[in-house]
Structure 1
Amino acid sequence: MLTKGDEYPIHQTAEPIAYSGTDRNFYDRYFFNGYTWDGSSFFGAAFGVYPHLNIMDASFSVVIDGVQHNLHASRVLNMERLDLQVGPISIEIIEPLTSLRIRVDSPEHDFKADVTFHKRAKALEEPRFTYRQGPRSFMDYTRMTQNGTYEGWIEVKGKRVEITRDKFVGTRDRSWGVRPVGMADPQPLAPPRDPQFYWIWSPLNFENAITLYHNNADADGKSWNTAAVLCPTGDGEPTKMKSCRSEIDFMSGSRHAKGAKLFFEKPNGGQIEIKVTPKWNFYMVGLGYGSPDWNHGGYKGELEVGYDCFRTDEITSCAPPHLHIQAFSEVEMVDEGGPVQKGAGVLEQMIIGPHAPSGFKDLLDMAP
């Protein structure tokens, strides 16, 4: 089947753009978060395309006065991957790698937004994520991450948030490849394995620089994918760290961080230390991550739109669907013993199953 994508010189195989290899779990996703430097406002968006499931879905979330408002939408893709609109939520690529626009218009849910992302620094290619469980490829994808500023507005339930580039920063990413989407596989790997996944992702904004750190680790604490980058704002070139690690202090009775330290070693041997202090949690379930009702790639019919909300300070559980979070954080960076640079960012966390360095032994045992 020919689609609009076939008009562009972007083919990677001999097939039309409508087809993405043979793995039914192939996906292609946009993600955005934005926040004020002091963390008083926060929003996020996710937009996913699942070519072999023939589904496209999107969510937009904003926290206003302590309430996280979540708008969800899902539709049949009809094999056309360039129509970046799912009901009331759409994305416009104004200039690749530089500027993108998100629009929301759902009068029936009193939820509207018009927000534009502008780059603060170059887009960063993270190392390819390839994770096998025995013979099976559980994950195989690439992510591009970019920090930026935002402008526009969000209006929900009669309350309006004005967004200006001097006050709002954040991160957007693009990832594509294979990871579990839609319904679970009815025949799991033999013999069945207990779930285990350790994930930390922390893009941070400073006045004249950005940093990015992530870590995927196994149950023993051995990293199977980890990296860190320091990049100046503007068009400066990123510096990939020679090595990196993190230390996380967990809140008692939870799997969420009370505090964290990131340690980077530069190629020349210089040291960077970043102190991360989480202030409050944004819950990724609002963007469909781990949602029992709006899971990524789930079939909802020709078109379905939904809304829900909750107070973030009333969530006390660390079990799914509230396990996966982005904690808005105040941060302090010391680069090679220089002065303290203050900034803001997120500490994304999703930790399932055992992780020896953290003291976790079972599926969801909590920190003492």
Structure 2
Amino acid sequence: MLTKADDFPIHQTAEPIAYAGTDRNFYDRYFFNGYQPDGTEFFAAAFGVYPQLNVADAHFSVIRNGIEHCLHASKVIHMERLDLSCGPIRIEVIEPLQKLKLIVEPSNGFAAEIVFEGRSFPIEEPRFTRRNGPRAFMDYTRLTQNVRCTGWIEVDGVRKELAAGTVGTRDRSWGIRPIGAPDPQPPVPMTITGFFWQWTPLNFADRSVFFHINADPDGRPWNTRAVIAPDGAGHDGFYETEGAAMDEVALIPGTRHAKGGTLSIPLAQGAASIRFEPFLTFLMRGIGYGAPAWRHGGYKGDLVVEREDIDLAAADMAAPENVHIQALSRVTLNLPGEAPVTGMGVFEQLIAGPYRPYGV
């Protein structure tokens, strides 16, 4: 089947673009977040295309006054992967790898228009490949880019402009992850007994810092790296290092969420350290990650749009659907021979199953 994408020189196989390999778990996703400089509001969005399932979904969420307001949409794509709209939520690629726009047309009390402009060239994270027995549990590539954000968000008739200095992060990932309905027949033997993930894209005045780690239940990393990207850096202007680690982590009692931590990054002149002070919790289910009713890639019908409002003070943070979070954090960077500098960023956390270094 020919689609609009076939008129662009982006083919990776001899097939038309409509056909994405043979794994039903293939996906292609956009992610965005941002936060006002005073930390009073946090917003995030996700837009996923699932070619083998013939489905796309999109989510937009903003925290205001302790409520996580969420807009969810799902549609059948009819094999057209280049249509970057799903109900009221739409993405425009203004300048690839540099500037994108997210638009939420008026729907269910929401409206928004936000431009995300890269602070440097995106980083390409190491390819994520993990097998569960004979099956590919994950096999994907992701680019990540810190951004400056301009525009506005409206919820229930209250429109707020994004203040000067609003920043955030966007990413693009594609490949294989568990999506849609769970497979009724598990892999044999079952080899993945837990999943540990931390991700910390941080915004400072003149640079970005990125760290991530996937580890097994005993704490052995299977994918990790730290990157420092000065503003305006090109694809070869980053400082990349192995051996970074998040230390001094204590969990909030009764949860799998960290009170804080200190990230140590080896540098030629000595280790840098970044202290995290989380102060606002964003539930990732608000944009479909682990959402019971809005699982990524789930079939909802030809087009379904729904609103959800989550009272964060009343939410059970120990519930399985609330384990995956982004904790908006104030951060302090200490470099050898330099005065401390402050910034802001997220401390994304997902601990599923046992993780022995934290005693869970």
Question: Shorter-chain TM-score category?
Answer: over 0.9
Question: Residues 173-231 of structure 1, C-alpha deviation per residue, up to 9 Å, x if partnerless?
Answer: 00000000000011001244674100001100000110000010001100000100001
Query: Counterpart in 2 of 1:124?
Result: 123
> What's the offset of the Cα at 1:38?
2.4
The 1-side partners of 2:230 and 2:12 are apart by 32
> What's the offset of the Cα at 1:87?
0.6
The 2-side partners of 1:242 and 1:190 are apart by 33
Unaligned runs of 5+ in 2: none
Query: Counterpart in 2 of 1:336?
Result: 336
- Helix, strand or coil at the partner of 2:321: coil
Asked whether 1:42 is paired with 2:48, we answer: no
Query: Counterpart in 1 of 2:262?
Result: 261
Alignment of 1:189-200 (within 5 A): 189-192=187-190, 195-200=193-198
Identity of aligned residues (%): 52
> What's the offset of the Cα at 1:317?
2.4
TM-score of the aligned structures, taking structure 1 as reference length: 0.95
Range moving further from structure 2, 98-107 or 82-91: 98-107
Question: Residues 124-171 of structure 1, C-alpha deviation per residue, up to 9 Å, x if partnerless?
Answer: 10000001112211000011000011111111112222114x231000
The 1-side partners of 2:240 and 2:270 are apart by 12
> What's the offset of the Cα at 1:288?
0.6
Alignment of 1:56-205 (within 5 A): 56-107=56-107, 109-164=108-163, 166-192=164-190, 195-205=193-203
- Helix, strand or coil at the partner of 1:70: strand
The 1-side partners of 2:114 and 2:12 are apart by 32
Amino acid at match of 2:210: L
> What's the offset of the Cα at 1:312?
1.7
The 1-side partners of 2:190 and 2:97 are apart by 41
The 2-side partners of 1:241 and 1:272 are apart by 11
Are the equivalent residues in 1 in contact too, given 2:194–2:354 (CA < 8 A)?
yes
> What's the offset of the Cα at 1:66?
1.4
> What's the offset of the Cα at 1:40?
0.7
The 2-side partners of 1:233 and 1:200 are apart by 24
Query: Counterpart in 2 of 1:273?
Result: 273
Query: Counterpart in 2 of 1:284?
Result: 284
Range moving further from structure 2, 230-239 or 8-17: 230-239
Unaligned runs of 5+ in 1: 361-368
Are the equivalent residues in 1 in contact too, given 2:27–2:176 (CA < 8 A)?
yes
The 2-side partners of 1:121 and 1:40 are apart by 26
Asked whether 1:217 is paired with 2:215, we answer: yes
The 1-side partners of 2:293 and 2:324 are apart by 16
- Helix, strand or coil at the partner of 1:5: helix
Are the equivalent residues in 1 in contact too, given 2:214–2:221 (CA < 8 A)?
yes
Range moving further from structure 2, 334-343 or 178-187: 334-343
- Helix, strand or coil at the partner of 1:280: strand
The 1-side partners of 2:193 and 2:46 are apart by 25
TM-score of the aligned structures, taking structure 2 as reference length: 0.97
Q: Cα gap change, 1:20/1:358 in structure 2, threshold over 3 Å: closer, same or farther?
A: same
Q: When the two structures are aligned, how many residues end up with a matched partner?
A: 357
> What's the offset of the Cα at 1:313?
2.3
**RMSD across aligned C-alpha pairs, in angstroms?**
1.2
The 1-side partners of 2:182 and 2:337 are apart by 49
Query: Counterpart in 1 of 2:28?
Result: 28
Are the equivalent residues in 2 in contact too, given 1:27–1:49 (CA < 8 A)?
yes
The 1-side partners of 2:61 and 2:49 are apart by 19
The 2-side partners of 1:162 and 1:341 are apart by 27
Are the equivalent residues in 1 in contact too, given 2:132–2:192 (CA < 8 A)?
no
Are the equivalent residues in 2 in contact too, given 1:194–1:353 (CA < 8 A)?
no
> What's the offset of the Cα at 1:336?
2.3
The 2-side partners of 1:68 and 1:41 are apart by 10
Question: Residues 284-329 of structure 1, C-alpha deviation per residue, up to 9 Å, x if partnerless?
Answer: 0000111111110000110000001022222232222111100000
The 2-side partners of 1:190 and 1:126 are apart by 30
Query: Counterpart in 2 of 1:364?
Result: none
> What's the offset of the Cα at 1:269?
5.5
Are the equivalent residues in 1 in contact too, given 2:56–2:86 (CA < 8 A)?
yes
Runs of 4+ in 1 over 6 A off after TM superposition: none
Are the equivalent residues in 2 in contact too, given 1:38–1:344 (CA < 8 A)?
no
Range moving further from structure 2, 346-355 or 236-245: 236-245
